[in-house]
Every structure is written in C-alpha cells, then in structure tokens.
Amino acid sequence: MGILVIGSVALDSVQTPFGKKDDVLGGSATFFSLAASFFSKVDIVATVGEDFPKRYVTMFKNKGIGTAGLTVSKGETFRWKGRYDYDLNTAHTISTHLNVFKDFDPQVPKNLRAPDFLFLANIDPDLQYRVLQQVKRPRLVACDSMNYWIDTKRKSLERLLDKIDILLLNDAEARQLSGESNLIRAAQLVISFGPKAVIIKRGEHGVLYFSKNTHFVAPAYLLETICDPTGAGDTFAGGMMGYLSRSKAVNDENIRKSIIYGSIMASFTVEDFSVNRLLEISKKDIQGRFKHFRSITKY
Ligand code: AMP
C-alpha cells in the first residue's frame, strides 16, 4: 500500500503580498509526503546538504514518513527563491540553486523497490527516470514537472512521459509542453506523448482531469485567506495519491474523489507559509472540508 516519492527537499525563500520568509522548509517531495502521510505510508528519495536542519528530518519521522532514502550529501541544500504578486496563480522564480541535486545519484533502498504507487515529484527528469528504472512497475506512476525542466530538459521529460500513467502540470506548463493554447487540445497532445491521463492544475480556478475516455472538472476549495501558494501543486498530488492508494481500485470514480481530496489538502497549504498549516491540521479538519466541499458543489 506504500507510496514512494522522489523530488526536492528544499529551503525556500518566498515573498508574497502577505509577507516574506527566508530559508523555510519546502520542496516538492516535502509537500507531497506531508499531504500523503494523512492517508498512507510514504517514503522519500531525495538528498539534502549538510546545512539542512535536523529538526526537519525528525519532523518527517514523527509524521511516519520514511527517510531511509533521504541522504545527506556534501554541500548545500537545494534552494528555491520565488515571488508572487497579487495574481497568486503565477510563481515568479528569482533563483534556483540545485546544489546537492547537481550530482545526486538517487538510490532507492532495497526494501522500497516494490512500491504500490510512485510519485515522481518535480525535480530533474533524469533523476525521476533513474528512480523509475530501479523499482518494480508500481500500480500507478504519476509525475509532476515545471517550466524550468520543460525549458532545459525537454528530451529527458519526453522519454519519461512514455513510461507514466498520470502527468500533473499547471495550465501554463501544459500550454508550454504542448505548444497549444486551448487546454482541451493541450491535454490531448500531452496524452499523445505517453501518459494515460493528465491533470491540469489551475490554482484558484481548480483542476481539469483528462484521460482518453473521460474528463472531470473540479473547482478549488473557496478560501478567504490565502497567504502563500508555494507547494499547492505538490500538496494536491500528495492528497490525491494518498487517497487513491487507499482505494480498492484505480478507477474513474475513485480518481474523481481523489482529486477532491487533493484540492482540500492544497487548500490548507496555501493558508500559511511553508508547511505550517500541514503541521497543524488533523484528519478531522480534512473530513470537515470534504463534507463542506460536497455541500457547496451539489446541485
Ligand atoms: P509548487 O508550488 O507545488 O509547484 O512547488 C513549490 C516547490 O517546488 C517549492 O517548495 C520549491 O522548493 C520546489 N521547486 C521549485 N523549483 C524547483 C525545481 N526546478 N526542481 C524541483 N523543485 C523545485
């Protein structure tokens, strides 16, 4: 039933209209694993530098997240610096320092090589591919990426797309990858690269799901307070895959429900900086929002 994730574990510096934080815990694998841990057992494959605060590793462990594949490498932790203006849907990257990820050779610990679900969270697509090659084909492989990798490693990304089940992207990235501005056509083109389905994240406008036979539209959970959207996409993926990994079958009905759980988890992350909200909430809070979501979308 376990989920394996490879992605970044990072120190982020983020500025939004509502405040500024430096060197706070971030990274695609971080948000993903914390969100998924509410539903399922998760193990991380990633690396951090010698400067990475030990208390964060302890926090992962306390949340039941497996850290056997989280190594400490010589050098500095991956750092991302970004800014959001009043349009919180668009992240402006100020700098990306790969640091220890530059020479990272991911090794999946032997006892984790048969995961039920695999999430290739946003990181160099060559690293995502190397992890995929080390594991027995999981029941579901999903993958995230971003403009940075579409720009700099397109070929590597295309090689990967042929081997996965679900690709998650935001709307700008779906347009960039497909070269098509209409999102329905963009999704069809992305599916023609290999994945069985694509999920297009549209921030406060919700999520679109497309597979060969069906599509599904989900609004975002309505919030009065949005502080920092960093990690919303990864948190969405964690909630979605976490819920799905607990379901008996990966079918259309369960995928739809998992998308709602993903949206609910993301709604918590954006209410504060870094992972602060994910560390405060309980399963009861998640269920409360799930029920409320149902009531406001029913007609
Ligand atoms: P999201 O807002 O869900 O798209 O993800 C934000 C997280 O992605 C931040 O915590 C960053 O540390 C991380 N991130 C930003 N750029 C990259 C990159 N090029 N590769 C891997 N992770 C990244």
How far CA 209 is from CA of 140, 168, 213, in Å, comes to: 16, 9, 11
Q: Can you give the length of the chain in residues?
A: 299
Q: pTM for this structure?
A: 0.96
pLDDT tens, residue by residue, 226-274: 999 999 999 999 999 999 999 999 998 999 999 999 999 999 999 999 9
Q: What does the alpha-carbon distance between residue 101 and residue 46 come to, in Å, rounded to a whole number?
A: 8
pLDDT tens, residue by residue, 101-154: 999 999 999 999 999 999 999 999 999 999 999 999 999 999 999 999 999 999
Q: Provide the greatest CA pair distance for the chain.
A: 56
Q: Which of 11, 15, 22, 28 to mutate to test the pocket of ligand 1 (most atoms within 8 A of CB)?
A: 28
How far CA 22 is from CA of 15, 25, 83, in Å, comes to: 9, 9, 12
Residue 203 CB less than 6 A away from ligand 1: no
- pLDDT band at residue 166 under the 50/70/90 scheme: very high
Beta strand 117-120 with 140-144: parallel, antiparallel or unpaired?
parallel
Percent residues over pLDDT 70 in the chain: 100
Q: What does the alpha-carbon distance between residue 176 and residue 267 come to, in Å, rounded to a whole number?
A: 26
Strands (E), 98-196: 117-120, 140-144, 166-170
- pLDDT band at residue 1 under the 50/70/90 scheme: low
Joined together, the tokens standing for residue 32 give: 């993903």
DSSP annotation of 204: G
Residue minimizing CA distance to atom 6 of ligand 1: 231
